[in-house]
Protein backbone atom coordinates (compact mmCIF):
# COMPACT_ATOMS: atom_id res chain seq x y z
CA UNK A 1 0.00 0.00 0.00
CA UNK A 2 1.15 3.56 -0.60
CA UNK A 3 2.54 5.15 2.57
CA UNK A 4 4.43 8.26 3.66
CA UNK A 5 7.66 8.40 5.62
CA UNK A 6 9.44 11.29 7.32
CA UNK A 7 13.08 11.36 6.31
CA UNK A 8 15.81 13.66 7.64
CA UNK A 9 19.05 14.08 5.74
CA UNK A 10 21.20 14.96 8.74
CA UNK A 11 23.63 17.86 9.28
CA UNK A 12 26.68 15.65 8.58
CA UNK A 13 25.34 14.89 5.09
CA UNK A 14 24.89 18.58 4.30
CA UNK A 15 28.34 19.46 5.67
CA UNK A 16 29.87 16.70 3.55
CA UNK A 17 28.09 17.75 0.37
CA UNK A 18 26.08 14.53 0.18
CA UNK A 19 22.57 15.98 -0.09
CA UNK A 20 22.37 15.44 -3.85
CA UNK A 21 23.82 11.93 -3.65
CA UNK A 22 21.28 10.88 -1.01
CA UNK A 23 18.28 12.61 -2.60
CA UNK A 24 19.29 11.07 -5.93
CA UNK A 25 19.14 7.58 -4.50
CA UNK A 26 15.58 8.14 -3.30
CA UNK A 27 14.61 9.65 -6.66
CA UNK A 28 16.17 6.84 -8.67
CA UNK A 29 14.33 4.31 -6.54
CA UNK A 30 11.08 5.87 -7.77
CA UNK A 31 9.95 7.41 -4.48
CA UNK A 32 7.94 10.62 -4.65
CA UNK A 33 9.24 13.72 -2.82
CA UNK A 34 6.05 15.29 -1.44
CA UNK A 35 7.78 17.92 0.69
CA UNK A 36 11.35 19.10 1.08
CA UNK A 37 12.64 21.82 3.41
CA UNK A 38 15.96 22.93 4.81
CA UNK A 39 15.45 23.25 8.55
CA UNK A 40 17.56 23.56 11.67
CA UNK A 41 16.33 21.44 14.56
CA UNK A 42 16.00 23.33 17.83
CA UNK A 43 16.21 21.75 21.28
CA UNK A 44 12.44 21.49 21.66
CA UNK A 45 11.92 19.77 18.31
CA UNK A 46 14.81 17.40 19.06
CA UNK A 47 13.20 16.36 22.36
CA UNK A 48 9.86 15.76 20.64
CA UNK A 49 11.31 13.97 17.64
CA UNK A 50 13.47 11.71 19.83
CA UNK A 51 10.94 11.32 22.67
CA UNK A 52 11.77 7.62 23.03
CA UNK A 53 15.53 8.33 23.34
CA UNK A 54 15.66 11.40 25.62
CA UNK A 55 16.69 9.34 28.67
CA UNK A 56 19.38 7.33 26.91
CA UNK A 57 23.09 7.93 27.45
CA UNK A 58 23.65 8.61 23.76
CA UNK A 59 20.99 11.32 23.63
CA UNK A 60 22.93 14.46 24.73
CA UNK A 61 25.61 14.11 22.02
CA UNK A 62 22.93 13.06 19.52
CA UNK A 63 20.96 16.23 20.31
CA UNK A 64 24.10 18.34 20.02
CA UNK A 65 24.78 16.82 16.61
CA UNK A 66 21.23 17.02 15.27
CA UNK A 67 20.93 20.72 16.22
CA UNK A 68 24.42 21.59 14.90
CA UNK A 69 23.38 22.87 11.48
CA UNK A 70 20.80 22.70 8.73
CA UNK A 71 19.26 19.42 7.71
CA UNK A 72 16.87 18.50 4.92
CA UNK A 73 13.46 17.31 6.09
CA UNK A 74 11.42 15.45 3.53
CA UNK A 75 8.23 13.54 3.11
CA UNK A 76 8.61 10.57 0.80
CA UNK A 77 5.75 8.51 -0.50
CA UNK A 78 5.50 5.27 -2.39
CA UNK A 79 4.46 1.65 -2.10
CA UNK A 80 5.65 0.36 1.31
CA UNK A 81 7.93 3.39 1.53
CA UNK A 82 8.54 3.04 5.29
CA UNK A 83 10.22 -0.36 4.95
CA UNK A 84 11.79 0.47 1.58
CA UNK A 85 13.58 3.54 2.93
CA UNK A 86 14.77 1.74 6.08
CA UNK A 87 16.26 -0.94 3.81
CA UNK A 88 17.94 1.70 1.64
CA UNK A 89 19.55 3.53 4.57
CA UNK A 90 20.91 0.39 6.29
CA UNK A 91 21.47 -0.37 9.97
CA UNK A 92 22.26 2.40 12.49
CA UNK A 93 26.02 1.91 12.73
CA UNK A 94 27.71 2.95 9.48
CA UNK A 95 30.63 0.64 10.29
CA UNK A 96 28.30 -2.37 10.21
CA UNK A 97 25.67 -1.30 7.67
CA UNK A 98 25.63 -3.41 4.52
CA UNK A 99 27.46 -2.20 1.44
CA UNK A 100 24.97 -0.82 -1.04
CA UNK A 101 23.03 1.01 1.66
CA UNK A 102 23.44 4.75 2.21
CA UNK A 103 25.12 4.30 5.60
CA UNK A 104 27.07 1.25 4.43
CA UNK A 105 28.50 3.17 1.51
CA UNK A 106 28.93 6.63 3.02
CA UNK A 107 29.16 6.58 6.85
CA UNK A 108 31.67 5.26 9.36
CA UNK A 109 29.80 6.33 12.49
CA UNK A 110 26.85 5.22 14.60
CA UNK A 111 25.87 8.81 15.41
CA UNK A 112 26.74 10.75 12.28
CA UNK A 113 24.91 8.30 10.09
CA UNK A 114 23.57 10.71 7.45
CA UNK A 115 19.87 9.83 7.41
CA UNK A 116 16.91 9.31 9.70
CA UNK A 117 13.71 7.61 8.56
CA UNK A 118 10.51 6.69 10.38
CA UNK A 119 10.78 3.10 11.62
CA UNK A 120 7.10 2.14 11.41
CA UNK A 121 3.57 3.43 10.79
CA UNK A 122 3.20 4.84 14.33
CA UNK A 123 6.47 6.76 14.29
CA UNK A 124 5.72 7.97 10.74
CA UNK A 125 2.43 9.40 11.93
CA UNK A 126 4.05 11.10 14.93
CA UNK A 127 7.01 12.45 12.96
CA UNK A 128 4.99 13.68 9.97
CA UNK A 129 2.68 15.62 12.31
CA UNK A 130 5.70 17.10 14.07
CA UNK A 131 7.64 18.21 10.99
CA UNK A 132 4.88 18.90 8.47
CA UNK A 133 1.70 19.69 10.41
CA UNK A 134 0.06 21.25 7.35
CA UNK A 135 0.57 18.36 4.99
P1 LIG B 1 18.24 7.74 13.98
O2 LIG B 1 17.72 6.83 12.91
O3 LIG B 1 18.08 9.19 13.75
O4 LIG B 1 17.57 7.36 15.38
C5 LIG B 1 18.23 7.51 16.59
C6 LIG B 1 19.62 8.01 16.42
O7 LIG B 1 20.41 7.91 17.56
C8 LIG B 1 20.34 7.16 15.39
O9 LIG B 1 19.83 7.45 14.12
C10 LIG B 1 21.78 7.55 15.64
O11 LIG B 1 22.12 8.78 15.04
C12 LIG B 1 21.74 7.73 17.15
N13 LIG B 1 22.20 6.55 17.86
C14 LIG B 1 21.54 5.40 18.04
N15 LIG B 1 22.26 4.55 18.80
C16 LIG B 1 23.39 5.20 19.11
C17 LIG B 1 24.53 4.88 19.86
N18 LIG B 1 24.65 3.70 20.47
N19 LIG B 1 25.49 5.81 19.96
C20 LIG B 1 25.36 7.01 19.36
N21 LIG B 1 24.32 7.37 18.62
C22 LIG B 1 23.34 6.48 18.50
- 86-114 residue pLDDT tens: 999 999 999 999 999 999 999 999 999 99
Arithmetic mean of pLDDT, 22-50: 98
Domain that holds residue 112: 2-131
Kindly report the protein residue whose alpha carbon is nearest to atom 13 of ligand 1: 111
When divided into structural domains, the chain yields a total of: 1
Tally Cβ neighbours within 10 Å of residue 40: 12
CATH number of domain containing 25: 3.30.70.141
pLDDT of residue 98: 98
ipTM topping 0.90:
no
- By the 8 A CB rule, do 10 and 16 touch? no
Query: 92 CB under 6 A from ligand 1?
Result: yes
Active site residue 126: no
* Distance in Å, CA 110 to ligand 1 centroid: 6
pLDDT of residue 77: 98
Amino acid sequence: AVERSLVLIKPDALRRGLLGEILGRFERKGLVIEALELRTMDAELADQHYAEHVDKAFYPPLKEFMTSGPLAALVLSGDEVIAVVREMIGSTDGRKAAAGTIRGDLSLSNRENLVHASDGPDSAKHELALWFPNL
